């Protein structure tokens, strides 16, 4: 006979909000070295997701339907967040939700900002290390340079965005990513967490939203290919067939990567995660619960004072 009373129950929304705040606080209070190490893997795992995305997009030009191609890319990319969530790695975009313990007064401003700084730095270093490994492995030249062409086209598109578009696309991306993390927190098995990640991540990637940590891999990857790919790469059938040369990608510069994409996208990601998800659900669930607890505690104090010796 099945004992249904022993089944694990998904937490109610208010309880999930409190659990998410507790989890964000725990991340922010880790020792600095441990925090940095987990940030390295966070950046590396998102890079792995982007590698899968690039691989899935090779040759998906007309007449292949554009919508299914984008959804396929989104689903493959979601592997990156799955790895982050299940491994407990630190991803800056999810870390923006540390506004919850900050608003509750459980996290100091200095620790809050310090955690953000370590997370961004670690994610960037982890993502760039993977980019260097992929470049050294010769992956951009595979499939007659089709893999590298996908990266170059994507990178050029990202550095060609206006500052405003990059900012708002960053808001939308992290709105979806933090909702994926939020749902994954409700999961009680690995399968639950994986499924929670897939939908929102596929949504943001397929829609062309901008994720700062993903770009910390893709943009340096494009820069490496543009500046250091061997001549054989530029003679690949995919490149020549598309009529492209290195000069077509001259807009891919270190300055453009930083100022035209990473800065506005990071700022947009902060708004999308810290405000649209973290602060929003703190206002909806955590603040009312804290107020109710304070009223109850005050009432208990009054009751005790009214009945001395109780």
pLDDT of residue 292: 87
Instruction: Let me know if residue 307 belongs to a domain.
Output: no
Quote the domain boundaries for residue 296.
Answer: 11-302
pTM above 0.95, yes or no: no
| Predicted pLDDT of residue 10 | 81
Model pLDDT for residues 20-41, shown as the tens digit of each residue: 999 999 999 999 999 999 999 9
Please state the domain count of the chain.
1
pLDDT of 18 higher than 90: yes
Q: Is residue 6 part of a domain?
A: no
Tell whether 210 is covered by a domain: yes
Average per-residue pLDDT for the chain = 94
User: Which CATH number characterizes residue 291's domain?
Assistant: 1.20.1080.10
pLDDT of residue 40: 98
pLDDT band at 305 (very low <50, low <70, confident <90, very high): low
Q: Is the pLDDT assigned to residue 310 strictly greater than 60?
A: no
Examine the pLDDT at 56 and tell me if it is beyond 60.
yes
What DSSP string describes 130-194?
HHHHHHHTTGGGHHHHHHHHHHHHHHHHHHTS-HHHHHHHHHHHHHHHHHHHHHHHT-SSHHHHH
Rounded-to-integer distance, Cα 180 and Cα 94, Å = 9
Q: Compute how many other C-beta atoms are within 10 angstroms of the C-beta atom of residue 168.
A: 19
Closest CA to 176 of 90, 276, 100, 83: 276
Cα-based distances in Å from 185 to 166, 168, 188, 198, 244: 28, 26, 8, 14, 45
Q: Is residue 41 part of a domain?
A: yes
8 Å CB contact between 215 and 261: yes
Tokens of 219: 């943009």
Q: How confident is the model at residue 7 (pLDDT cuts 50, 70, 90)?
A: low
Nearest Cα neighbor of 55 from 34, 23, 80 is 80
CA 14-19-23 angle, 5° bins: 150
Q: Is 309 within a domain?
A: no
**Residue located via tokens 């062309």:** 208
- 282 lies in a domain? yes
Residue 80 lies in a domain: yes
Q: How far apart are CA 115 and CA 102, in angstroms?
A: 12
Alpha-carbon span 251 to 60, nearest angstrom: 24
Question: Which pLDDT belongs to residue 125?
Answer: 98
Does 4 reside within a domain?
no
131-135, 221-225, 296-300: range with lowest mean pLDDT: 296-300
């Amino acid at each position: 006979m099945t004992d249904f009373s022993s089944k694990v129950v998904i937490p109610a929304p208010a309880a999930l909000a409190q659990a998410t705040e507790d989890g964000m606080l725990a991340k922010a209070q880790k020792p600095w070295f441990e925090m940095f190490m987990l940030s390295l893997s966070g950046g590396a795992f998102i890079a792995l997701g982007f590698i899968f995305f690039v691989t899935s997009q090779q040759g998906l030009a007309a007449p292949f339907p554009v919508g299914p191609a984008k959804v396929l890319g989104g689903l493959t990319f979601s592997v990156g967040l799955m790895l982050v969530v299940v491994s407990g790695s630190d991803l800056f975009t999810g870390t923006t939700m540390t506004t919850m313990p900050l608003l509750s007064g459980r996290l100091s401003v200095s620790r809050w900002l310090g955690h953000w700084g370590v997370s961004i730095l670690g994610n960037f270093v982890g993502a760039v290390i993977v980019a260097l490994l992929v470049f050294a492995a010769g992956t951009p030249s595979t499939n007659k340079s089709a893999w590298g062409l996908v990266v170059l086209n994507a990178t050029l598109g990202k550095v060609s965005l206006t500052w405003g578009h990059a900012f708002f696309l960053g808001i939308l991306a992290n709105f979806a990513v933090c909702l994926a993390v939020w749902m994954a927190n409700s999961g009680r098995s690995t399968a639950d967490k994986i499924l929670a990640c897939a939908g929102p991540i596929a949504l943001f990637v397929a829609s062309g939203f901008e994720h700062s940590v993903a770009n910390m891999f893709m943009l340096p990857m494009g820069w490496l290919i543009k500046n250091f790919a061997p001549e054989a790469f530029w003679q690949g059938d995919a490149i020549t067939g598309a009529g492209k040369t290195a000069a077509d990608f001259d807009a891919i510069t270190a300055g453009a990567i930083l100022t035209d994409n990473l800065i506005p996208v990071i700022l947009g990601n902060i708004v999308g995660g810290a405000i649209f998800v973290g602060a929003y659900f703190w206002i909806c669930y955590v603040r009312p619960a804290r107020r109710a607890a304070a009223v109850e505690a005050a009432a208990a104090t009054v009751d005790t004072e009214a009945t001395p010796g109780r």
